[in-house]
């Protein structure tokens, strides 16, 4: 299950680009947490947060409230899926590689998978659970196996409780999630360096290296001006492909009809 967090203020600048690309290959299994309806998405694939989460802001409580809605969707679909993944709207997901990778793991075991946000553990000194732990950045994508979503239920089923938890600990949503998973459940992060956010300075800097490895990567972050693969061949006009995502999508999925046309133009 793919859950994408977005906001109406990003529909044009971001969401349109991911709907056109990776989501078009995974739409049946993709759900949205957002504040306004989306014309191309059916109501049962979307959860609205506007009244409950308050003003749309990049604030700790707003984003924790949105993350709590991820879990509402996860719980609703607990019997339908083995894996539950969160993505931001400024990410491209190579769903084929993701599914390939997840299929190598035992989905009957609790798994917390993603890219560690910090180079070191967070060294927590206070009660409860005064231990060091790793947490994954939600901005690179995070996947949880069904048993883990199930084990997390007591801590995630109530939106207000989740938001209060973030505020009380003074943790952003991704840190709070890592804290719940390690503190309460003693499950540690399975790091995967093929997940990427737009916070990685070097990822798009080395063109040669990028071209060698991009096909194997699972997620990509994008942000203008420096965090997108602008050196890829431009298969679309730059105005309709500002992040060069459509071109990347075609290079990763050359079998798509539209891409075949573009590449042989
Ligand atoms: N976001 C949101 N409401 C807001 C601001 C951000 O839902 O008011 C979402 C946004 O769509 C994205 C995620 O939160 O999926 C992270 O936001 P952003 O990428 O702008 O921040 P950064 O990556 O710089 O922390
Ligand atoms: Mn971002």
- The percent of residues in the chain predicted with pLDDT above 70, rounded, is 100
pLDDT surpasses 80 at 265: no
Q: In the predicted model, what is the mean pLDDT of residues 27-42?
A: 97
96 or 240, higher pLDDT: 96
Q: Check residue 238 and give its pLDDT.
A: 86
Q: Check residue 54 and give its pLDDT.
A: 85
Q: Check residue 58 and give its pLDDT.
A: 85
Instruction: Using the mean position of ligand 1's atoms as its centre, give its distance from the Cα of residue 88 in Å.
Output: 7
User: What are the structure tokens assigned to 118, written together?
Assistant: 């910090």
Q: In the predicted model, what is the mean pLDDT of residues 45-60?
A: 88
Q: In the predicted model, what is the mean pLDDT of residues 107-133?
A: 98
Q: Check residue 264 and give its pLDDT.
A: 84
pLDDT surpasses 80 at 56: no
Q: How far apart are CA 38 and CA 22, in angstroms?
A: 17
Do 113 and 142 touch, CB atoms closer than 8 A? yes
Q: Check residue 55 and give its pLDDT.
A: 79
Ligand 1, atom 12, residue with closest C-alpha? 88
Q: Give ipTM to 2 decimals.
A: 0.99
- What digits encode the pLDDT tens for the residues 74-85? 999 999 999 999
Q: Check residue 225 and give its pLDDT.
A: 93
Mean pLDDT of the chain: 96
Instruction: Using the mean position of ligand 2's atoms as its centre, give its distance from the Cα of residue 242 in Å.
Output: 16
Ligand 1 atom nearest residue 10's Cα? 11
- What digits encode the pLDDT tens for the residues 177-204? 999 999 999 999 999 999 999 999 899 9
Q: Check residue 75 and give its pLDDT.
A: 98
Q: Check residue 57 and give its pLDDT.
A: 81
Instruction: Using the mean position of ligand 2's atoms as its centre, give its distance from the Cα of residue 198 in Å.
Output: 6
Ligand nearest the Cα of residue 35 is 1
Backbone angles phi, psi at 149, to 5 degrees: -60, -40
List residues near ligand 1 (CB under 6 A): 5-7, 10, 56-58, 62-63, 66, 88-90, 139
Ligand 1 atom nearest residue 57's Cα? 8
Q: Which residues contact 187 (CB under 8 A, 6 or more apart)?
A: 110, 111, 112, 148, 151, 181
Q: Check residue 185 and give its pLDDT.
A: 98
Q: Check residue 111 and give its pLDDT.
A: 99
Of 115, 151, 120, residue with least CA distance to 133 = 120
Q: In the predicted model, what is the mean pLDDT of residues 79-97?
A: 98
Do 123 and 86 touch, CB atoms closer than 8 A? no
pLDDT surpasses 80 at 145: yes
Ligand nearest the Cα of residue 87 is 1
Of 8, 6, 25, residue with least CA distance to 245 = 25
Instruction: Using the mean position of ligand 1's atoms as its centre, give its distance from the Cα of residue 5 in Å.
Output: 8
Q: Check residue 101 and give its pLDDT.
A: 98
Q: Check residue 51 and give its pLDDT.
A: 84
Q: What does the DSSP 8-state code read for residue 225? A: T
Ligand 1 atom nearest residue 35's Cα? 7
């Amino acid at each position: 299950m793919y859950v994408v967090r977005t906001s109406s203020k990003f529909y044009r600048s971001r969401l349109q680009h991911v709907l056109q690309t990776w989501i078009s290959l995974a739409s049946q299994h993709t759900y949205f947490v957002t504040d306004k309806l989306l014309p191309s998405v059916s109501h049962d694939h979307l959860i609205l947060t506007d009244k409950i989460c308050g003003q749309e802001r990049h604030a700790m409580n707003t984003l924790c409230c949105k993350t709590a809605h991820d879990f509402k969707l996860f719980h609703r679909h607990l019997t339908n899926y083995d894996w539950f993944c969160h993505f931001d709207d400024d990410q491209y997901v190579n769903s084929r590689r993701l599914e390939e990778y997840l299929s190598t793991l035992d989905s009957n075991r609790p798994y917390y998978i993603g890219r560690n946000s910090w180079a070191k553990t967070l060294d927590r000194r206070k009660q409860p659970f005064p231990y060091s732990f790793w947490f994954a950045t939600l901005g690179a994508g995070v996947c949880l196996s069904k048993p883990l979503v199930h084990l997390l239920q007591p801590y995630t089923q109530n939106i207000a409780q989740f938001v209060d938890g973030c505020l009380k600990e003074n943790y952003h949503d991704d840190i709070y999630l890592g804290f719940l998973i390690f503190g309460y459940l003693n499950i540690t992060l399975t790091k995967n360096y093929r997940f990427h956010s737009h916070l990685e300075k070097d990822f798009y800097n080395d063109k040669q290296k990028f071209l060698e490895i991009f096909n194997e990567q699972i997620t990509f972050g994008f942000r203008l001006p420096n965090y997108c693969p602008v050196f890829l061949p431009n298969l679309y006009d730059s105005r309709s492909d500002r992040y060069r995502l459509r071109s990347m999508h075609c290079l990763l999925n050359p079998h798509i009809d539209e891409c075949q046309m573009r590449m042989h133009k």
